[in-house]
Structures are given as structure tokens and as C-alpha cells.
Amino acid sequence: MRALPCSLSHILCTLLLAMLVTGAMITSGFAQQTIILVRHAEQTPTGGMMDGDPPLNESGARRAETLASVLKEAGVSAIYVSQYARAQQTAEPLARALGVKPEVVAKDDLKALTERLKAHDGQGAVLVVAHSDTIPALLKAWGHSQPVTIEKTEFNSLWFVVSRPDGAPFVSRIRL
């Protein structure tokens, strides 16, 4: 699937993100944290299986550029990535555009990532580039009760997670 930076989904995504980020701050009287979760973009297959640490393929590189285009005005103040090249390369165009250095947190260390995210509470949106198995685990750990499944070939979803002081976070999933 080819992503177009000026598509209708881009415009809708940007508008929704603006409403989430500003609405969370206005309605509650204090800042609430907005986390944007995305799975890394498409990577190069090796030997028919995903072996080692493959880089992004051409489609993945285009998707990373589209992600940067969609999120460049979203108020992202911090970016977290795993130790894998595909996660780091997915975040790189946005990090470069914003002048933000991504912080690396081990893929399966959900506790460490959650603790680091707490340090950014109320300081702008945070982008987390994760993996098909860690996104559902993170959402569950943060109190989202709906099960989330990410197919092996799915690379087009963004999850907007807005914390709430009185319960489970607000979670919205958008497919680009």
C-alpha cells in the first residue's frame, strides 16, 4: 500500500492528533500525557524469515517519511525506540525534523519504558516506535482493556493514548 503524504487520512490524522493533544490539556484543567504508539515500518526480509536486525525496506523508508510528515506538527517532545534498526530508522525522519534525539529502551523492558514516559507527563506528546508484540503488551500494562492484535503484515496503525487521572487511558487507533 502506497502512503501519500497529502492524503485525506493524513489531514484527518493531523486534526485528530491536534484535538487529542490540546483537548486533553483543556478539558481536565491540567496536562495529561499523550503517547503516540506506532509499529516500526516494513523491514527487509532475510532468508524468507525475519532474522537478526534487518533494516527498513523501500516501502518502510517511505512510511517513515510519511510518519514524519503526519506528526511534525503534533507537539512531539520525546521519541523512544527499541534497540533494533527498524524501529530507529522509522523514527529517524521525525527526529531529524524536530531536532529530537530518540532514546533507546530495550524492546521487552516495558517497565523501564513506562517509567521514562512518566518523566515526560505534561511536557508534550511522546512517540514510541515499538513492535507487533510490545504494543499490545504496553496498552494492556497501561490499563487499556480491549485486546489488540497486530498482524505480521500490518504497519499502518497509529495508537493515540491519552492518560486519564481517574481510570483507563483513552485509546484511539487510526490506520493510515
- Domains present along the chain, CATH in parentheses: 8-175 (3.40.50.1240)
Write down the pLDDT at residue 49. Answer: 46
What residues are paired with 34 via a beta bridge?
A: 162
Write down the pLDDT at residue 10. Answer: 52
Write down the pLDDT at residue 122. Answer: 74
Write down the pLDDT at residue 120. Answer: 83
What residue ranges in the chain does DSSP mark as E strands? 34-39, 76-81, 103-104, 125-130, 157-164, 167-175
Task: Look at the pTM and tell me if it is higher than 0.85.
Answer: no
pLDDT band (50, 70, 90) for residue 43: very high
Residue 99 CB partners (closer than 8 Å, separation 6+): none
Residue 85, pLDDT > 60, answer: yes
Q: How far is CA 87 from the centre of its chain?
A: 10
Residue 18 CB partners (closer than 8 Å, separation 6+): 73, 74
Write down the pLDDT at residue 81. Answer: 98
pLDDT in tens, 107-148: 999 999 999 998 887 788 999 999 999 999 999 999 999 999
Residue 3, pLDDT > 50, answer: no
pLDDT band (50, 70, 90) for residue 25: very low
Question: Residue with C-alpha cell 515500518?
Answer: 41
89 sits in the region (left: phi over 0; alpha: psi -120 to 50; else beta) called alpha
